[in-house]
Structure 1
Amino acid sequence: MLVKEKVNQAKGILKEFGVDCWLTFVRESGITPDPSLAFLAASDVTWHSAFIITASGETRAIVGQYDKQTIADLGAYDEVVAYVQSIKEPFLSYLKQLNPGKIAVNFSKGSEIADGLTHGMYLILRDLLAEIGMQDQLISSEKIVSALRQRKTAAELERMKGAIRFTEKVFDEVAGFIKPGRSEKEIAAFMINLMKQAGLVSAWDVNMCPAVFTGPDTAGAHYGPTDRKVEMGHVLNMDFGVKYQDYCSDMQRTFYILQDGETEAPPEVKKGFETILNSIESARKALKPGVQGHEVDAVARNIIVNAGYEEFPHGLGHQVGRFAHDGTALLGPRWEKYANKPFEKIEEGMVFTIEPRLTVPGRGVVTIEEMVVVTKSGAEYLSHPQTELILI
């Protein structure tokens, strides 16, 4: 049912942007998947396949014979056409009938989620279109794909909430497992076991999900757990997410390991934690439709820097959806590597992480990663925000 919902949503997006036709052109999608295909089909396809949605509301899928019934069962397309020997005749015949001025296809220099058309398939497509004089009518589908992924429906949000609730449950349970002498690998294994018992999978590479970092001088991010042991007086943080009914969570929590005689964290750790809380909440309040991502990033980043810490070497937050890193718009600084992502306008329905970080010398990295959804007038937490250090 979700495919049908997203296909219908795509019709309105095409009309909004004034694009006649959106074409997703794939083959052997299990080998070379197009990120957009999950919204158009609930399974992989084998042979050359074309999924066509128009601004006028017409939809058609042209697939190999053995893929027809699977696609037809979705109930998302006006017509599903099957072929045996070649896609050429049914594909070109339909395009001639449509006679679109522009055909949006999935290539993009600035957004990986809209760049699913392989170079080989692009060449095949141009050769086919040359036979009917449409080879120069191709444009990037980036705006269409971005809008479709970013504007979460109620059904999508419910799935994401399911992923978040389970992630929070694991954080609660692992707090009772952490103790001095446990290794990062042992802590990660405990969390992975809970995930597997629930029949879920990690939101990203399981070798780095969860990522567990204890004490100073750790990799800090995007690195797998090690044999490093938990020590008293150190900060421990972890990054974890699961995939629930195809949708992801991505969250981080910070713990402090009490030393003998301590009943609370030392002042420098508490200061770092309070700075992170202030940074996150200030960013959430600044996040609303119409602003640009770099503006929100600057709010959080300035709080960290003005408190005397080095600025964090990454964007404040990314979108989450079917992937842990999803969508185009980014809450990030105006750095070259982010291209146009920080300049994209924020829209209602986008789901973002907010994840500033700072280092407390001799203690470790303090960071929290919350998930929020953009509403008509602001942003609301989807996760239950961490408001206190978790003391071990």
Structure 2
Amino acid sequence: MIRTGLLFLTSALILISCTSSNQQTADNPFDGPSPWPDIRKERVQTLLPQAMQRAEVDTWMILCRSNNNDPLARHIGCENAVAPAVFIFELEGDDIRSTVFTPPGEATALREVALHDSISVVDRSPGAMVEAADYINSNHRGRLAMNFSETNEIADGLSYSQYQSFTDLLIQPVINQIVSSEELVFEWLSVKSPDEIDILRKAAELTAQWEVEAYRRVIPNQTTDKDVADFLKAKMREYGVTDAWMPDQNPAVNSGPDRGHAHPTDKIIRPGDVIQIDFGIKVYDMWVTDIQRFAYVLQPDESEPPADIQKYWDVARDANRMVLEVMQPGITGLEVDRVQRNWLAENGSMNVMWNTGHPVGYVAHDVGPSLGGAQEGRDPSSTAYEPLRVGNVFAYDGFYMWEIEGGTKTISVEEMAVVTETGAEYLTEPQEELILISSD
């Protein structure tokens, strides 16, 4: 068991240990330039062809523009588009050929990025869409993926008017072969490269470390949930990282009944509380983490948690470990989730509504297989039937839910793990025991 001491006299002093905004730190692993440009190029060259093959897509077209750009813009190099530009990726055996139709304003920058095989500069009239449609009509072969989807918002970047305008320029044989890019995007984004996993590993270590540091500064009957959140916000500013999800709800700190996805409040932390921190950071403005850590506030006469709290923790932690043991290439997310549900039922937990886990990487709830679907009263999503692949990264929980005054309390032992050739491994050391906070 991990014990904390009384390190500060008032909750206000929690923030003194952190430096002002934007100050650099000697041990910051994310001080240097972003590796994203090189990683993006590698992903396009190596992972995109594999994804297109699995999705049985021959050509992928993305329309980029200013102000309301496609969600995938940074992944394909059109994040700086102003006037409409069209990016086309064609599968040629095991390789990709990319062609860009762009107005002259962005052409120089695109050439300097050196991500694409061909940059075709077009006049604003008739424009990039007309030139790109002519190219596709002349080079038509196989299925053409476009970014519209009912189930995957990241693959749904093409507006209705854009779709209508572009398809009006295509010949009927091409139109007949148009498909949603959702399967292609799923296959591509769900797999992270070894370099990306190394980045996520460092970010996960930092995330978990800060959560433990935050607990060490809790003073029972004085510190509030929001004080803990403020400490973590200050650490983020100190290291120059940002929020993994909506800032108002990151971190979620909860020493009372379950609040779900919610902001921290001014509730004072009391002896007997089980505290949850759900926290994630974004590094290099590209990759995110999602990790939870739990603590128990000892009563003045306690040296260890009550037997029931200890049992709840043990069951939740063991559920997390069981999930890791079954995660491997080929198993579905539904099968993974069912392992935990059976364990919870055997050990008396209330029914937990949340999925066991979700993909994480570019956003907190990323594209990829869902580790869920076996809950009571809830139909599995389509992604729960998808097989896990090497390079999938998940944030996933080991659960236990019970009734407390004012509602329910859930321990959700959330760790990050990556699927490997032989199974799965944690990205950082998992939490083995409840963190204990003394009230003396």
In the superposition, the TM-score normalised over structure 2's length comes to 0.84
Instruction: Give the counterpart of 2:195 among 146, 150, 155.
Output: 155
Measured at CA, do residues 338 and 201 of structure 1 come closer, stay the same or move farther in structure 2, by a change above 3 Å? farther
Equivalents in 2 of 1:383, 1:42: separation in Å?
Answer: 34
**Deviation per residue, 1:230-253 (Å, 9 max, x gap):** 000110001000011210100111
Deviates more, 1:203-212 or 1:61-70: 61-70
Partner-residue secondary structure (3-state), 1:277: helix
Equivalents in 1 of 2:170, 2:65: separation in Å?
Answer: 17
Deviation at 1:60, TM superposition (A): 0.9
Partner-residue secondary structure (3-state), 1:194: helix
Residue equivalent to 1:48 = 84
Deviation at 1:16, TM superposition (A): 4.2
- Aligned-partner residue type, residue 169 of structure 2: L
Residue equivalent to 1:367 = 412
Alignment of 1:207 onto 2:245: no
Ranges of 4+ aligned residues in structure 1 off by more than 6 Å: none
Residue equivalent to 1:4 = 41
Measured at CA, do residues 34 and 89 of structure 1 come closer, stay the same or move farther in structure 2, by a change above 3 Å? closer
Residue equivalent to 1:64 = 103
Deviation at 1:368, TM superposition (A): 1.3
CA RMSD across the alignment? 1.8
Equivalents in 2 of 1:54, 1:336: separation in Å?
Answer: 39
Alignment of 1:320 onto 2:365: no
Deviation at 1:96, TM superposition (A): 3.0
Instruction: Give the counterpart of 1:341 among 375, 383, 390.
Output: 383
- Aligned-partner residue type, residue 374 of structure 1: V
Instruction: Give the counterpart of 1:187 among 228, 241, 255.
Output: 228
Deviation at 1:190, TM superposition (A): 0.8
- Aligned-partner residue type, residue 192 of structure 1: K
Residue equivalent to 2:155 = 114
Equivalents in 2 of 1:75, 1:97: separation in Å?
Answer: 25
Contact 1:276 1:356 in 2 (8 A): yes
Instruction: Give the counterpart of 2:392 among 350, 363, 372.
Output: 350
Deviation at 1:337, TM superposition (A): 6.4
Contact 1:371 1:381 in 2 (8 A): yes
Contact 1:290 1:346 in 2 (8 A): yes
Contact 2:337 2:356 in 1 (8 A): yes
Deviation at 1:356, TM superposition (A): 3.3
Equivalents in 2 of 1:342, 1:183: separation in Å?
Answer: 38
Partner-residue secondary structure (3-state), 1:332: coil
Instruction: Give the counterpart of 2:179 among 139, 148, 159.
Output: 139
Equivalents in 2 of 1:127, 1:202: separation in Å?
Answer: 41
Deviation at 1:136, TM superposition (A): 2.8
Unpaired runs of 5+ residues, structure 1, are: none
Residue equivalent to 1:22 = 60
Deviation at 1:169, TM superposition (A): 2.1
Identity %: 29
Alignment of 1:388 onto 2:427: no
Contact 1:236 1:365 in 2 (8 A): no
In the superposition, the TM-score normalised over structure 1's length comes to 0.94
Residue equivalent to 2:70 = 34
- Aligned-partner residue type, residue 73 of structure 2: L
Equivalents in 1 of 2:378, 2:301: separation in Å?
Answer: 48
Equivalents in 2 of 1:260, 1:285: separation in Å?
Answer: 38
Equivalents in 2 of 1:254, 1:340: separation in Å?
Answer: 32
Contact 2:56 2:143 in 1 (8 A): no
Deviates more, 1:132-141 or 1:195-204: 132-141
**Deviation per residue, 1:248-291 (Å, 9 max, x gap):** 10011110001102111111110000001111111111111111
Measured at CA, do residues 224 and 338 of structure 1 come closer, stay the same or move farther in structure 2, by a change above 3 Å? farther
Residue equivalent to 1:294 = 334
- Aligned-partner residue type, residue 339 of structure 1: S
Deviation at 1:346, TM superposition (A): 1.1
Deviation at 1:225, TM superposition (A): 0.4
Partner-residue secondary structure (3-state), 2:294: strand
Deviation at 1:81, TM superposition (A): 1.9
Instruction: Give the counterpart of 2:217 among 159, 166, 177.
Output: 177
Partner-residue secondary structure (3-state), 1:144: helix
Partner-residue secondary structure (3-state), 2:269: coil
Partner-residue secondary structure (3-state), 2:276: strand
Unpaired runs of 5+ residues, structure 2, are: 1-37
User: RCO (CA 8 Å, sep 6+): is it higher in 1 or 2?
Assistant: 2
Residue equivalent to 2:313 = 273
- Aligned-partner residue type, residue 14 of structure 1: M
**Deviation per residue, 1:30-82 (Å, 9 max, x gap):** x3343322211173322222111111132112223222222222222111122
Equivalents in 2 of 1:336, 1:278: separation in Å?
Answer: 24
Partner-residue secondary structure (3-state), 2:175: coil
Measured at CA, do residues 137 and 345 of structure 1 come closer, stay the same or move farther in structure 2, by a change above 3 Å? same
Deviates more, 1:111-120 or 1:333-342: 333-342
Instruction: Give the counterpart of 2:273 among 231, 234, 256.
Output: 234
Residue equivalent to 1:100 = 141
**Deviation per residue, 1:217-236 (Å, 9 max, x gap):** 341x2100011110001100
- Aligned-partner residue type, residue 342 of structure 1: A
Contact 1:3 1:42 in 2 (8 A): no
- Aligned-partner residue type, residue 113 of structure 2: L
Measured at CA, do residues 113 and 337 of structure 1 come closer, stay the same or move farther in structure 2, by a change above 3 Å? farther
Equivalents in 1 of 2:102, 2:379: separation in Å?
Answer: 37
Contact 1:14 1:54 in 2 (8 A): no
